[in-house]
Amino acid sequence: MQLRSIALAVLAVASFHTHADTIALWDFNTFSCSSNCKEEPKGETANGGKLTMVGGVTFTSAGDAGKGSALNTTTYAAQSTGDLTRGVQFMVNTSGYTDLVLSFTQRNSSTASAWTALQYTVDGSTWLSATTFQMPSNKAATFVDGLSFNFSSILEANDNENFGIRILATFAPGTGAYLPTSGNTYGTSGTIRYDNVLFSGTAIPETAPIPEPHTYALMLAGLAAVGLMARRRRAD
C-alpha cells in the first residue's frame, strides 16, 4: 500500500491535467424579442462568434427550462420541400483551441420536424455532414438536454477562424418528407427551440510548461523511493 501511494504521488507531480474551456456559449438569457425580431442574439465568445438564421427561418425569444430565455425558431419549409435548407447557423472562431465539442438543448413542438441534421464547415462556405438528431415523440414540447457532437477527430476544426455549424430541418431517413415530432401533422409553423449552445475545447498552450528544478528533484526522489522499496521486497 505504501509503495502504491508513493507511485501515485510521483504520477500526480509528473502529470499535467487538461480541462475543457468555453470557446463560445449562447444561453439566450439576455435575449428578449417577441415579434418582428431582426437582430440575432449574440453569444459569450472567446474569439468571436455569430448566429444567423438559414433559409427564411424566423425567430423570437421564449421561455427555457429554467428562468431564462431560449431561441424559438419557426417558418420552416412546406411538407416534402426544402430538405436541409432551413435552420440555424453558428460561426465560431476556434483559433487557439483543439478537441472541439458541441452541446446544446432542444425543444420541438409536436408539428415541427422530428429530424434535424448537423453540418459543419472548415472553410466558411462548404458544408459537410456530421450527424442527425431525432427528437423522441414522447418529448414533444419538452426540453431535451445533452444533445452533442464531438469534433475532436476532425482535425480541421482545430485552431480555425472559419469554423461553423448548421442545424437544419431534414426529411426522415429514406423518405422525401418531414416526420412530425409527435402525431401525424407536420406544419411550417412548428417550432424548434434552442438553448445553452456551447462550444468547448482545449486551449493550446503558448509554450510547453517546463518543470521547476524542485519538481525534478521531487520526481527523482519519488522514483528512487519506489525503486528502493521494490528492491527490498525482492530481497525479502
Domain boundaries, the chain: 2-11+211-235, 18-203
Distance CA 80, CA 64 (A): 30
Distance CA 102, CA 111 (A): 26
Distance CA 164, CA 90 (A): 6
SS3 201: strand
The answer to whether the beta carbons of residues 51 and 90 sit under 8 Å apart is: yes
* pLDDT at 64 (0 to 100): 85
* pLDDT at 231 (0 to 100): 62
For residue 91, what is its C-alpha cell?
460561426
* Digitized pLDDT (tens) for each residue of the chain, 236 residues in all: 444 443 434 333 333 445 799 999 999 999 999 999 999 999 999 999 999 999 999 999 999 877 789 999 999 999 999 999 999 999 999 999 999 999 999 999 999 999 999 999 999 999 999 999 999 999 999 999 999 999 999 999 999 999 999 999 999 999 999 999 999 999 999 999 999 999 999 999 986 556 666 655 566 666 666 565 656 555 65
Superfamily of domain 18-203: Galactose-binding domain-like (2.60.120.260)
187: number of Cβ within 10 Å: 17
Distance CA 169, CA 76 (A): 8
Distance CA 4, CA 15 (A): 16
* pLDDT at 198 (0 to 100): 98
Q: How distant, in Å, are the alpha carbons of 121, 162, 192 from that of 159?
A: 13, 9, 30
Q: Which residue has the cell 507511485?
A: 7
